[in-house]
Amino acid sequence: MKINENYKNLSESYLFSTIAKKVAVYTQQHPEQEIIRLGIGDVTLPLAAPVVDALHAAVEEMGKKETFHGYGPEQGYGFLKQALMRYYARRGVVLAENEIFVGDGAKSDIGNILDLFDVDNTVLVPDPVYPVYVDTNVMAGRRIVYAAATRENGFLPMPQADVQADLIYLCSPNNPTGAAYSRDQLQAWVDYANERGAVLLFDAAYESFITDGDVPHSIYEVNGAETCAIEFCSFSKTAGFTGTRCSYTVVPQALVRGSLHLNAMWLRRQTTKYNGVPYIVQRAAAAVFTEEGQKATRAAIDYYRANAAVIAAALDEAGIWYCGGKNSPYIWMQCPGGMKSWDFFDHLLEHAGVVGTPGAGFGAQGEGYFRLTGFGDAEKTRLAAQKLKEAVRVL
Ligand code: MLT
């Protein structure tokens, strides 16, 4: 037999697993040290009351013969897809119900969508970027080219006429830098993809953090996106579903490559390999779109945004350059004193007990940078900000 040797080309472990392992070793050696985790973007607020109520009600339904649900439609229940259609319509985006696919996480769908594309395609990935885009393509053995996201271009690389790519990943607001593309900038990417027959894989997981009016929440707010873009979004960051698992992927009917409709291909793929998100979880997700659900969701996002502002204020006081935190829960800071990302990770862990994410873990261009998340507990974030300032002072 032949094994998939492409796995040899991956780094030893996934970025956030590496961090978790390093922290576990450190806590074993220093059991007295309080650790504040601002590394992985995991939420800390509990599910909102309307979501919990919906879960309870759905569990009751599952316990009665008359209202029990077995297998659901693999692409999601109508009640949730219709709520999503109304959510998109608020921004003038009209979606058909069969263009929405409910899933168990944007990360899974971002990896799984690659089933639709030949291994010979060239992939364009911004650098630094969410490591899943790179790792999933390395696993498949695809050629990857990088678009440098630097301080000079505001961490928002634009299309280059001399770069030919078939699959293009965009994440806006961006993980890890927090940078967000304007409407005009996204239009340039959509035009580029349509001209070349490329497909944009647009990750909108952080759309609910957008505050700038000029930043689209969905790629479909941009003209022509329905013929070149697939969009991934999630309830994880918006409504605290990191442990509950629910997401959605939009594959427009108008998206055709070769003689194949990508929507039909994705449906075929999902119905073959996937049995859908649990009924109770989809009921919980639908509750996010009720009036009460929206109110609670906005309050949670404000809470996380306030945390990001606390971190930003500490960096201002320490005289450290950073960006993000405005349309995003992430702060992307320059490591002080020209330190490398992993060295600053160790320094911050040892001198402050604060865990962040080394920028280098998101790509070569991330070296010298460091990401902190606003998803922590408010009290602990204030403490971490104080300790961060002290840890920088002792450098
Ligand atoms: C992150 O910290 O980058 C995210 O939490 C990872 C994810 O959403 O999978």
pLDDT of 231 reads 99
The answer to whether the CB of 99 falls within 8 A of the CB of 84 is no
What the chain holds in terms of domains, given with CATH numbers, is: 5-47+292-393 (3.90.1150.10), 49-290 (3.40.640.10)
- Among 130, 245, 362, the mutation site with the greatest number of ligand 1 atoms within 8 A of its Cβ is 130
Strand order in the sheet with 247-250: 100-103, 247-250, 229-234, 199-203, 167-171, 122-127, 143-148
With tokens 């005289």, the residue in question is 319
Q: Is the pLDDT reported for residue 12 higher than 90?
A: no
CA of residue 176 to ligand 1 center, whole Å: 9
Q: Is the pLDDT reported for residue 275 higher than 90?
A: yes
Q: Is the pLDDT reported for residue 110 higher than 90?
A: yes
pLDDT of 240 reads 97
Ligand 1 pocket at CB < 6 A:
40-42, 107, 130, 175
Dihedral class, residue 41 (left if φ above 0, else alpha if ψ from -120 to 50, else beta)? beta
CA of residue 69 to ligand 1 center, whole Å: 31
CA of residue 236 to ligand 1 center, whole Å: 9
pLDDT digits (tens, 9 = 90+) for 336-375: 999 999 999 999 999 999 999 999 999 999 999 999 999 9
Per the annotation, where are the binding residues for substrate? 14, 41, 107, 130, 175, 275, 371
Percent of the chain with pLDDT over 70: 100
CA of residue 107 to ligand 1 center, whole Å: 9
Average confidence (pLDDT) over 13-30 = 93
* Cα(310)–Cα(384) distance, integer angstroms: 10
ipTM of the complex: 0.93
CA of residue 242 to ligand 1 center, whole Å: 9
Q: Is the pLDDT reported for residue 11 higher than 90?
A: no
Q: What is the mean pLDDT of the chain?
A: 97
Residue 332 DSSP code: E
Residues 6+ apart with CB under 8 A from 10: 135, 138, 139
Band of residue 74 on the pLDDT scale cut at 50, 70, 90: confident
Average confidence (pLDDT) over 77-100 = 98
Write the residue with the smallest CA distance to atom 8 of ligand 1: 41
pLDDT digits (tens, 9 = 90+) for 175-196: 999 999 999 999 999 999 999 9
* Cα(393)–Cα(395) distance, integer angstroms: 6
Band of residue 13 on the pLDDT scale cut at 50, 70, 90: confident
pLDDT of 376 reads 97
Write the residue with the smallest CA distance to atom 6 of ligand 1: 41
Considering the entire predicted model, what is its pTM? 0.97
Q: Is the pLDDT reported for residue 14 higher than 90?
A: no
